A = this chain, B = another copy of it.
Amino acid sequence: MCRWLAYSGDEIFLEELLFKPENSLVEQSLHATEAKVATNGDGFGVGWYGQKEIPGLYREIMPAWNDCNLQHLANQIRSSHFFAHVRASTGTATSRANCHPFAYDNWMGMHNGQVGGYEHFRRPLEAHITDEHYAKRMGTTDSEALFYMLFKLGLKRDPVNAIRTMVEIVTSLQKQYHITEAFRCTMAITDGTRIYCLRYSSDRYAPSLYWRHQDGRLVVVSEPLTDDHTDWNKVPESHILIANRADVEEIVAL
């Protein structure tokens, strides 16, 4: 289980959300409160849109709480649209390529959760990645596979449908391979403008996912950044939150 954060709104320094809040994402890397594992110390990453169409990525295998470079970058880099992720490995290696977010062209994605039985159907799952995208796959995680699958499933034309189909493929593979472990996930995808955030589980124990819209700023996050949860809304299970920059347009059932 990992923890992540998606932001869209005014241009802010990354540290505003990564370091400053009471329960900032970096704080969650050390003491997550709503996760199965409290420590998310198996690497981290941040991806942000700046003056170019493609996002920048900074991913590192050290714990986020302990990375002086991250402090500097979060203090210097401003962005109006960014993702950040702290990782608790569920078995795959700790390498930069296995850290989130993943990026391809102008798209970016990140994930939290478990794909029960992944080791049993990794190759048939990867069969849903096009050759073009498979050649770019640098890591070995289920998360990166899910990200690249979406492109073949029509991400650019109809993201919600691509996400739905991805969920169907995973659950269908789990049946086919007689997997009893659940598929649980929260996932965020963006093209640099719109954000799609899925909360799903095959067994009604989806990882937590919250959002807050305040002063023109949208934050979607695994756990509220403040001890006071008043302003935070839950994304319901089996729903996708869709935002156009900071505006939450819809929260649709899967």
Q: Is the beta-carbon distance between B69 and A96 smaller than 8 angstroms?
A: yes
A66 within 8 A of B: yes
Q: Is the beta-carbon distance between B93 and A68 smaller than 8 angstroms?
A: yes
A59 within 8 A of B: yes
Tell me if A's interface is mostly helix, strand, loop or mixed: mixed
**Interface 1/0s, chain A 37-68, versus B by CB < 8 A?**
01101100000101110001111111101101
Q: How many residues of A contact B (CB 8 A)?
A: 46
How many copies of the polypeptide does the oligomer hold? Answer: 4
A58 to B60, CA, bound (A): 12
A62 to B48, CA, bound (A): 23
Q: Is the beta-carbon distance between A75 and B52 smaller than 8 angstroms?
A: yes
Q: Is the beta-carbon distance between A77 and B77 smaller than 8 angstroms?
A: yes
Partner of A140, one of B58, B73, B96, B140: B140
A249 within 8 A of B: no
Task: Tell me the residues in window 95-116 of chain A with beta carbons closer than 8 Å to chain B beta carbons.
Answer: 95-97
Partner of A56, one of B50, B61, B73, B119: B73
